[in-house]
Amino acid sequence: MNSCLYKARVMHHRLAPRPHRFDYKVFLFCLDLEELDTLSARLRWLSHNRFNLFNFRDSDHLQLPAGNPDTAADIRQHLSTYLQSHDIQTNPSIGRIMLLTNCRTLGHQFNPVSFYFIYDQSDRPLCSVVEVGNTFGEMKPYFVGPDALHGSTFRQKTRKYFYVSPFSDMDTWFDFDLSLPEEKLRIKIDDYDAEGHRFFISSLTGRRVPLTDANLLRYFFSIPFITLKVIGLIHWEAFKLWLKKIPFHRKAANADLQKGVYRPYRR
């Protein structure tokens, strides 16, 4: 089995316009998309598209736009179509696809970011996709192509053009630094403003642990309702940023800077 869990820590450090830092413990699933049904049959507390303590649901992730004839496809098919739009030949070049993410916990889901690591049929890393979500239920995928691979790490800067936080301008840049998930987990995403100044640092570090029923129960009780914890911390830290009088950007005021958004929010 390639699938596993990661016991991890998230760190956010805002450098400007005023310093603000926090970190917290999490656990994450790293799932081989070919193993989803096998895992669901083998594990008591993890299911695929079915309610459980933990539930991986295809529709929580990358979806084709409404009206596409393949809208009902599973996650691997959606990803294959997306990769083809970026000139990645998915047949026969695609092999293992690992997805680092949160699963639904007792039906509740929130994923601020998920990471796909795509390998070829010889199990060599090919590309990555970073799937960013916000509290409006919107999602935006960022393609990190073969040219971004340096050894075992993908490095790429890309325009954000997405409403992630009301305390960050959308006309900024993500700097992705994504090491392949192995025994250790090391992911870093920095934010740069339009002038090229880094104003935000975030990291995700951890270690691999087996994906077993015992570990699923252990992490559920050590960090109960992890998806609620994550969204709760987002709002709590946002309140502290508001108290520090960090400039606030309203979503409706920047519609032209929200590009390539999947599942756009409609009021």
**For residue 71, what pLDDT is reported?**
52
For the segment 106-114, the average pLDDT, to the nearest whole number, is: 90
Name the nearest CA neighbour of 142 among 60, 73, 86: 86
* pLDDT per residue as tens digits for the range 149-162: 999 999 999 999 99
d(CA 52, CA 61): 18
Residue 70 has pLDDT above 70, yes or no: no
Tokens of 20: 């603000």
For the segment 55-66, the average pLDDT, to the nearest whole number, is: 83
Residue 238 has pLDDT above 90, yes or no: no
For the segment 19-32, the average pLDDT, to the nearest whole number, is: 91
pLDDT top residue among 110 and 55: 55
Say how many CA atoms lie within 13 Å of 29 toward its Cβ.
27
Residue 246 has pLDDT above 90, yes or no: no
**For residue 206, what pLDDT is reported?**
97
* pLDDT per residue as tens digits for the range 79-103: 999 999 999 988 777 999 999 999 9
**Contact indicator for 181, 98 with CB cutoff of 8 Å:** yes
Q: What pTM was computed for the model?
A: 0.92
Residue whose structure tokens are 């990471």: 115
Tokens of 18: 């005023």
Please report the DSSP string for the chain in residue order: ---EEEEEEEEEEE-SSS-EEEEEEEEEEEEEGGGHHHHHHH-SSEEESS-SSEEE-GGGS--PPTT-TTTT--HHHHHHHHHHTTT---TTTEEEEEEEEPPEETTB---SEEEEEEEETTS-EEEEEEEEE-TTS-EEEEEE-GGGEETTEEEEEEE--S---TTS-SSSEEEEEEE--SSEEEEEEEEE-TTS-EEEEEEEEEEEE---HHHHHHHHHHSTTHHHHHHHHHHHHHHHHHHTT-----GGGGGGG--S-BS----
When mean pLDDT is compared over 30-39, 229-238, 251-260, the highest value belongs to 30-39
**For residue 5, what pLDDT is reported?**
98
